[in-house]
Structures are given as structure tokens and as C-alpha cells.
A and B are shown apart, each in its own frame.
Chain A
Amino acid sequence: MTDKVTLAMGAGGRQTAQLIDEVFAARFNSPLLTADDAAVLEPPRGRMAMSTDGFIVSPSFFAGGNIGKLSICGTVNDLACMGARPLYLTCGFVIEEGYPLDQLRQIADAMAATAAAAGVSLVAGDTKVAGKGQVDGVFITTTGVGEIVEGAAPAGAKARPGDAIIVTGDVGRHGCTILLARDEFGIEADVTSDCAPLWDSVEAMLGVTKDIHVIRDATRGGVGTVLYEIASQSGVGVRLDAAAVPVDPAVGGVCRMLGLEPLYLACEGRLVVIAPKEEAPALVEALRACPNSQGAAIIGEITDDRPGWVVMRTEIGSETLLPQPTGELLPRIC
């Protein structure tokens, strides 16, 4: 085998089989992984959740992970947000001609390790090779199926006035990591992505109570965007305590340098959880006992005031609206 991905490896012949066997199947090491046209699986016992997500990230390797880890976490976390234990995943790759095989192996390693940590089986895959310049490195799409824990039914429209808002750790680290990895602004900081699978954190919460109203993973657009989505879906107001939102000091430093707001930077391993206030302390305690949510904190509450808006209690105890997300994050000088 050469050390780079070639168009022939995507042509469906022997070289394709060799690529799949040597790079993917050898690593995914799942008895369920099919060599046929589709995986044949036992159905979940209860209700089932299903989700799909595409992953493009530049650069595909960053502090704390790579696109492979991200592609597993993203779909596992989407399932977990519905109270579903992730069971099966499929993965589709679109790889740019000339992509280093060594990096592809590292991506597959990360996928295997993350899937094992999340307790999910990779059951089917697809590999395509696109001509040089037609894609940027490697794109991955994963689709997952999960089994919903009986009694759990979190949904974006279920936030109720009086509920507490919990975030499962410090915000904005993934977005900040990618910004630094692109090295467009000459800034260095010791920041690693929060990218992590979160089923065990959700399972721990469901062990405390099934009465969790909303669980969302704060990916693109960050925690701020998720809070606006929930406020709108549930027709409620959100009151956020600025001082209670956990932010890593270096992430804060990068944001101050570029005039960005950490609440709008992407996370890949953080959930926003909305649950009855009286359950919140026990939920936070359960979350803090899990490795990927040790920094869990209560950051605010749901109100019936100003439906659709996020009101922030400021550092001086006054109030202001959290600005609504406006798309592309641009550093500002003024």
C-alpha cells in the first residue's frame, strides 16, 4: 500500500477492500461490523432514537482530538440528549485524493477508542475518494441508533418556569481550540477541545431522576445559541447568571483579545440541561462524578418573563439581554 489515499482506493475494487480492511475494520473490531450490504441487528427493547450528523473541521487534527473522535461524540451526544443509550453507529467517509494514510489510521484509531468509551458499536461504513481539491481532507458522516431509557423524554419544548439550567462544564473550549489551531491571529494558549462522549453523564442524571425536561448539546453556536433555541421552542424566558457560567481563563483571555463571547463558541462535549429546580443539586452532584462533566454548574433558571429572550444578570448585578447569535464569528477591534 502507498502512504497516500488514491482514487483507485475509492473505485470499489481490491484496493478499496484493502483500505477498508487495513484501516477501518482492523480498528473498529466490532463483531457486528458488516462485510455485506447492510448490518443485521437486534432491535432496541423500547423506543428508539436515531440521528445523523456530518463532520467537516479544518484542521482535522486539533488539541484534544481529531475529526474521528468528533464524529463519534457528535452522534453519540445527539442520541444521549434524547435520553437514548447509543447502540449502533454507521460511518461514511469522503476522503480527498492524496490524504495521508497515516492520518486516516489515526482518525480510525480515535473513532474506535471513542466508540468503545461510549459503549457503541460501529456496524457499517462507506468509503468514497474524491479528486484532489473536491473536498478538504476528510469529511465524515455518522448515523446512530439508540435505545431510549424508559421514562425519559427530554425535549426542547419542555422547559418550564422555575426550572434550573445546568451546563456540564466550562464553555467554548472546542471553538477556541479550532480558532487557535487555524493560527489566523497569531495567538497561542494552552486550550484543548472539550470533545467527549457524554452518554455516561446522561445515564448518571437519569439515575437521579427521569424528570429531566431538556437536554441539548451545545455544539455550533455554543451555549448562547442553545439557550435561545430552548427559549423559543418552549416559549419561556431564560435568566442567566453571567458570573456562574464556567469559562476556562485562557479561553476568556483569547476571547478578550479578539472581542468574542465564550457563550457563542462551539462546545463538543458540553450539555445544557433543564430540570426542576429541586432536582438540580443532585443532578450536578451526579454529573460531577462523571469524568466528562466534572465542571457541571447551575447557571440560571427558566422564567415566565420575556418569553423567547435570554436575560443575563451581569457582573455588577444589573440586567441585560444576551445578544442573539448573528452567524460567522468575526473578531472585532472596535
Chain B
Amino acid sequence: MSDATTTARQILATYDGPRLRIMEVCGTHTHENFRLGIRKLLPPQVDLISGPGCPVCVTPVGFIDEAIWLAEHGVTITTFGDLVRVPGTSKNLAAARADGARVQVVYSPLDALEYAKEHADEQVCFLSVGFETTVPAACLAVSQAHAEGVGNFSLLVANKTMPNAYAALKGSADVFLYPGHVHAITGTQLCEDLVEQGVSGVLAGFTAKELLTAMAVALSKAKEGKPFFVNAYPRVVKSEGTPAAVALIEQVMEPCDTEWRGLGVIPQSGLRLRDEYAAYDARKKHDMPVIEGHANPACRCGNVLRGEITPEQCPLFGKVCTPLHPVGACMVSGEGACSAFYQYGGNLS
């Protein structure tokens, strides 16, 4: 085992500082921390809270209902695999597919555009979820469709951005474990600004070594008692981010207020297509009515996302809500906090 890993584990094992709440902003961090068994290595006074960074988990029920409305009106749905089993108000996309809807799982929004070009007789909609990391791929697909005059392609947009979510959540944790790939796009300025406001954080990568290192940095710095920010993922995240990606998002989309499942509306934390690209907005293109979804009222995904309860404290967890029959979105996505707790046994400690 390498030096960094050994040293980091020593730091975790000997931590004698104050009680610490570390928020895994990014769902992939939650997933990897479970998969690698990192939670088990943390001292008892350190809590890992699963945050809002699973795009599937924060996408409201109504979005799935909108996708199903499109599918039932003859539109071919192209989507990341993550969304297929997310429950809408009455059913999910897998059930819609069984009822005859065309639902195509794709690896990339660019593949969705290719599909549209190859199936000129179909109307093709890509379900655009995800944060700053994923948005550029969707914007690239739209700008290419625009440039090539592809007329049968659109996006159903529910993209979200992190800055105002950090602001909304800053009281929920002592340290943010910042999402490495979001900041690969946006850079580190926001994290630097948050330190000025007293919000600490560590930018983390995704390998075992990178996650252990980030945890060790968080614990060591926390002991010093003043706000800090460390980029522990410098091989991928540069301070300036990826300017061309930021410019592309700016060109194609604009900020709007948006609903986060469980968190409510966070002002200016969503994205929508700019008017120049209205022809690619599925809601406008297909004259979609306003659709409001209804989540199961007993589902406490919202409290889980705010780090207020652990998944096991939800009355549905593991009983009516399981990965095979998910009620809330946090149970559907492999990186959702409830799914990770269920699958990897939050009690394995």
C-alpha cells in the first residue's frame, strides 16, 4: 500500500478532534465510500452525510411524469440508465416501456442526437438531468443539432447547478466534500469564496487513495479550527476549470429557479434553454401541459438529502422502499444515499 494511503489511514485512526459532519455533496462519493469500505475506517465522532449531489435523487417526481407524458404522446425517450426505474406519480419509464413507449438508454447526449439523426421519422427527446459536469454534453448535443439543422431532437431539461445549493446547505455540515468532476468544469473560485464565508471544504477525487487523502486532509485541517479549502484532486481540477465548457453552457442555457426534490425551490439553481434554442425545448416543442407530480408523502428523501436524518430513520426504508421497489429517488439511483445504505449495509461497522 502506498505512502499516502498508509499516512491517511493513520490520520483517520488517531483523530482526536471535535465532532465533525462531512457532507458528501456528490453521490458518486457516497457510492465509492461505501464500495471501498471507507466509512468503516472513520473515527466515531466523524459523520458522513450524503448530500444533494445525485441528479436522479433531486429530480422531482413531476419530471418523470413529464417524460412519461412525452413517451405516451409518441416521442422516443433517450435517457441515462439511472432514470429508467425512478418512480413517477403513477409509474416509471420501465413500466411505460412495457406499455409500448419507446425508451432508449444511451451513454451520452451525443448518442441521443445520433439516434435522432438515424431515426428521422421519430421525435427524439433526451432527458437532460445532471449538474455542471453533465450539462456541457447536453449543450454540445443541442448546439450540434442546431448547427446541423436536426429538427427531430429536443431536451427535457432539469439540470441543476451547485452554487446556490451550497448556500442553501451550508448550515448542514462542517465540511463539504466537494464534487471533483463538477469543479473540473467550474474551477475552484467558488470554493475559495465559501472559505471567506467560513465554509470549509475539500475537493476530492474518486479512487481509494484520493478519497482517503481527502478525508485525512479534512480531519487534519478541522483540528486546526479555522475555515479551510484544499484541492485534493489537482490532477483533474484546475483553478480555472474548463473555460470552453463554461462558455458553452452560457451560450446554450440560462439560470432559472428550480425545484430540488426534497429541498424545495432554490432560486437560480436550475438551467433552461435560452430562447435561441427554444426549438429544442421539449416542453415548448410538444406543447406540454403543466404537469405536477405527487411524491409519496411518507417518503423522507428530502430530510435525507439535507442530512437531517440517515436513511434508516425513514419509516419506509427497507420495508416498503427497497432497491427492487423504490419509493423515493434516493433508493433508485445506485448513488442515492438510501440505495447505498441499503445495498452496502449502513450498519456494517
A touches B in complex, CB < 8 A: yes
Measured CB to CB, the residues of A under 8 A from B are 184-187, 257-259, 309, 311-312, 314-321, 323-324, 326-328, 330-334
- Which residue of the partner chain, among A185, A311, A317, A330, contacts B85 with CB atoms under 8 Å? A330
Query: Which residues from 45 to 80 on chain B have a C-beta closer than 8 Å to any C-beta of chain A?
Result: 54-56, 80
The yes or no answer to B111 lying at the interface (CB within 8 A) is yes
Instruction: Kindly report which residue of chain A lies nearest to residue B8, judged by CB atoms.
Output: A316
Q: Are A333 and B80 in contact (CB under 8 A)?
A: yes
Chain B residues with CB under 8 Å of A318's CB are 36-38, 40-41
**B36: contacting residue among A315, A324, A326, CB under 8 A:** A315
B130 interface contact, C-beta 8 A: yes
Residues of A within 8 A of B27 (CB): 334
B81 interface neighbour in A320, A326, A331, Cβ under 8 Å: A331
Would you call B348 and A332 a contact (CB within 8 A)? Answer: no
In the complex, are the beta carbons of A314 and B37 less than 8 A apart? Answer: yes
Q: Is the beta-carbon distance between B105 and A331 smaller than 8 angstroms?
A: yes
Judge whether A323 and B343 touch: CB under 8 Å.
yes
Q: Are A186 and B111 in contact (CB under 8 A)?
A: yes
Q: List 14 A-B contacts (CB under 8 A).
A: A185-B106, A258-B107, A314-B36, A314-B37, A315-B36, A316-B208, A320-B35, A320-B37, A320-B344, A324-B343, A331-B80, A331-B81, A332-B334, A332-B335
**Known interface pairs A333-B82, A334-B80; A321-B333 also in contact (CB < 8 Å):** no
Closest A residue to B26 using CB positions? A334
Contact A326 B84 (CB under 8 A): no
- CA distance in complex: A309, B344 (Å): 10
Asked whether A316 and B107 contact (CB < 8 A) given A323-B343, A323-B344, A326-B324, the answer is no
Known pairs A258-B107, A332-B80, A334-B54; A320 contacts B333 (CB<8 A): no
Q: How far is the CA of A48 from the CA of B346 in the complex (A)?
A: 45
Chain B nearest CB, measured from A308 CB (Å):
11
Residue of B nearest to A315 (CB): B208
- B residues in contact with A187, CB < 8 Å: 107
Closest chain-A Cβ to B116's Cβ sits at a distance in Å of 15
Residues of B within 8 Å of A326, CB to CB, are 323-324
Does B100 have its Cβ within 8 Å of any Cβ on chain A? no
Asked if B317 is an interface residue, CB under 8 A from chain A, the answer is: no
Query: Which chain B residues in 79-111 approach chain A with CB under 8 Å?
Result: 80-82, 84-85, 94, 105-107, 111
Q: Do B107 and A331 have beta carbons less than 8 Å apart?
A: yes
Per the bound structure, the CA–CA distance linking A259 and B35 in Å amounts to 13
Contacts of B55 in A (CB 8 A): 334
Does B34 touch A at the CB level, under 8 Å? yes
For the complex, count residues of B whose C-beta is within 8 A of A. Answer: 38
- Contact status B344-A334, CB under 8 Å: no
A contacts with B: majority SS: loop
B208 near A321: Cβ-Cβ < 8 Å? no
**For window 182-223 of chain B, which residues contact chain A by CB distance below 8 Å?**
208, 212
Give the residues in chain B near A331, CB-CB below 8 Å: 80-81, 105, 107
Q: A-facing mask of B125-160, CB < 8 A → 1, else 0?
A: 000001000100000000000000000000000000
Q: A316-B37, A321-B348, A323-B334 are in contact. List 20 more A-B contacts (CB 8 A).
A: A185-B107, A311-B348, A316-B1, A316-B36, A316-B208, A316-B212, A318-B40, A320-B35, A320-B36, A320-B348, A326-B324, A328-B84, A328-B85, A330-B82, A330-B85, A332-B333, A333-B81, A333-B134, A334-B80, A334-B335
Whose C-beta in chain B lies nearest to the C-beta of A333? Answer: B80
B333 touching A334, Cβ below 8 Å: yes
By a CB distance below 8 angstroms, the chain B residues around A316 are 1, 5, 9, 36-38, 41, 208, 212
Which partner residue on chain A sits nearest B104 by CB separation?
A184
Question: Out of A259, A317, A328, which one reaches B334, CB within 8 Å?
Answer: A259
| Contact indicator B36/A321 (Cβ below 8 Å) | no
Residues of A within 8 A of B323 (CB): 323-324, 326
Closest CB in chain A relative to B346 CB, distance in Å: 10
Q: Which of A309, A312, A323, A331 has the most CB of B within 10 A?
A: A323
**Is B345 engaged at the interface, CB distance under 8 Å to the other chain?**
yes
Contacts of B38 in A (CB 8 A): 316, 318
Docked complex Cα distance between A70 and B344 (Å): 34
Residue of B nearest to A185 (CB): B107
Chain B residues within CB distance 8 Å of chain A? 1, 5, 9, 27-28, 34-38, 40-41, 54-56, 80-82, 84-85, 94, 105-107, 111, 130, 134, 208, 212, 323-324, 333-335, 343-345, 348
Q: Determine how close the nearest CB of chain B comes to the CB of A244; give it in whole angstroms.
A: 16
Q: Would you give the shortest CB distance from B50 to chain A, in whole angstroms?
A: 13
**Separation of A257 and B81 alpha carbons in the complex (Å):** 13
Please, which residues of chain B bring their CB within 8 A of the CB of A327?
A: 324
Kindly list chain B residues whose C-beta atoms are within 8 Å of the C-beta of A323.
323, 334, 343-344
Q: How far is the CA of A324 from the CA of B348 in the complex (A)?
A: 15
Cα–Cα, bound, A321→B346 (Å) = 9
Which of A187, A258, A311, A316 counts the most chain B CB atoms within 10 A?
Answer: A316
Contact B36 A332 (CB under 8 A): no
- List residues of chain A with CB within 8 A of the CB of B134: 333-334
Complex CA–CA separation, A326 to B323 (angstroms): 6
Most buried by A among B56, B80, B94: B80
Return chain B residues, CB-CB under 8 Å to A185. Answer: 106-107, 111
**In the bound complex, what is the Cα–Cα distance between A326 and B56 (angstroms)?**
17
Kindly list chain A residues whose C-beta atoms are within 8 Å of the C-beta of B37.
312, 314, 316, 318-320
Q: How far does the alpha carbon of A258 sit from the alpha carbon of B111 in the complex, in Å? A: 14
Contacts of A321 in B (CB 8 A): 343-345, 348
Contact partner of A319 among B333, B343, B348, CB < 8 A?
A: B348
Q: Is the beta-carbon distance between B212 and A330 smaller than 8 angstroms? A: no
From B36, B84, B324, B348, A330 is in contact (CB under 8 Å) with B84
